[in-house]
Structure 1
Amino acid sequence: MTYTVNCSILLTELPLLERPAAAKAAGFDAVEFWWPFESSVPSDSETTAFERAITDAGVQLSGLNFNAGNMPGGDRGLVSWVGREGEFKDNIDVVAGIGERLGCTAFNALYGNRQEEFSPEEQDELAARNLAAAAEGVARIGGTVLLEPVSGAPRYPLLKAQHALDVIARVKAESGAQNIKLLADFYHLAVNGDDVAAVIEKHAKDFGHIQIADNPGRGAPGTGELPLGEWIARSRELGYDGYIGLEYKEPQETAFSWAIREHAAN
């Protein structure tokens, strides 16, 4: 199984730039990150330090988020955020540059929360334009924009797979962009009441990425009740051949105990 460690939610006991090496030491060859900088356009020294942490660790950067705003403060993306269009546009070039230098081609664009002062239609129109621009921006490096349903954010409008797929269909129809796909986070989908098995049956071959965590608790596989192994296996059978992103909460000392047991069993 080709796993990739999300170093923005795992190994948080360590400074951010030490986490890729820790993932490698734990036996993984790939990592992914939420946006690892405070601003949409970080300094050259900041991007260089981040890229060096990846390359020095000897891991592949498999995925990177566009800037999603202040995540700890409740922000969930700039894609539909009226008033930050310029910031998102500037972020596209930075994301594509990092991807080009590190060989990363998967880029997650969080949709953003609803704003009281703007109508959903206004925000959705902006989101379609921003997603089309993002798709165009990463297309030159063979990149794919990912769009995901999210749980635990009351004002985030994409809750189920079909919500994201409808947005993707709109962007494709309006712009012709083909490099935008669903990020199937099995945890978020399950928590939001989606029929994950049905989503897999219908769309697995077209998934852009899979992420996992167990429920309840968003812990490591095996700590909850979700049939993650079955869902992953079925996705593979139906044509998904990408990474499985480990995006759960677990202390460093036990973060990968399940993977060690799984490896020993095989």
Structure 2
Amino acid sequence: MPTEIAPPLVGTDRVLAVLTELARHAGGVTLEEMTRAVASPKPTVHRALAALCRFGFAGRDGRGRYVLGDEFLRLAFAHHEARPDHLRIAPVLSELAVRYGETAHYAVLDGDTVVYRAKVDPAVGALRLTSTVGGRNPVHSTAVGKLLLAYALSDDDAVADWIGGRTLAPRTPQTLTTAPALAAALRRVRIDGYAVDDQENEPGIVCLAVPVFMASPTRPSGAVSVSAPASRTPLTTLIAQVPAIRATVEAR
């Protein structure tokens, strides 16, 4: 609310306002700065900070500035890590589905297949896709699969070993079914940082996937993708949106 019409902060509201303001200052904040920010008397702001310090939600750095406390960060990260992946990624999928008017997925790697943990369709224009929450699709024919496989298999030899003597089933005439073709695609993924499915899993459907790093900065926990009919959203359009799609994922 605008300051001129906002009610004065009292009791618990003041403590929460101080905690919220504290989170905006990664480099710490002085008592005077906090007093001005929350527009409250210095003694009452000091009491709020003291209460937060007692519970470990605030602390003082070497310069005497107030910072978020380790206990607050521990609780926040513990809660975040305990939430299932599909709940943590849901806002990203919703945002992508609204922005592009196409279906967004979150999938994880499981052997030779990907498992879809979450899916959000656009409000209008949704297509019937083979993907369902809890369902599976082949790794080699999907954008999410190739994206995750590129991280799991480090080079061409690893790709050849992974395929072994098997024949990769063609889902469409576009599906990559040989070790050399798949190895070349995964090399491209490692360079570009994203993967595509150019009507390789379903005729007429294109898809672009980017990695999601929830637990490790180097090994993705899963992949987010945007799938669309090629006639409505060509693959070139999705590729042009890679920076925006990646930024949406990373912002969450």
User: What TM-score do the two structures reach when normalised by structure 2?
Assistant: 0.27
User: What TM-score do the two structures reach when normalised by structure 1?
Assistant: 0.26
Structure whose residues are more often strand by fraction: 2
Computing the radius of gyration over CA atoms, which structure comes out larger, 1 or 2? 2
Greater relative CO, 1 or 2 (CA 8 Å, sep 6+): 1
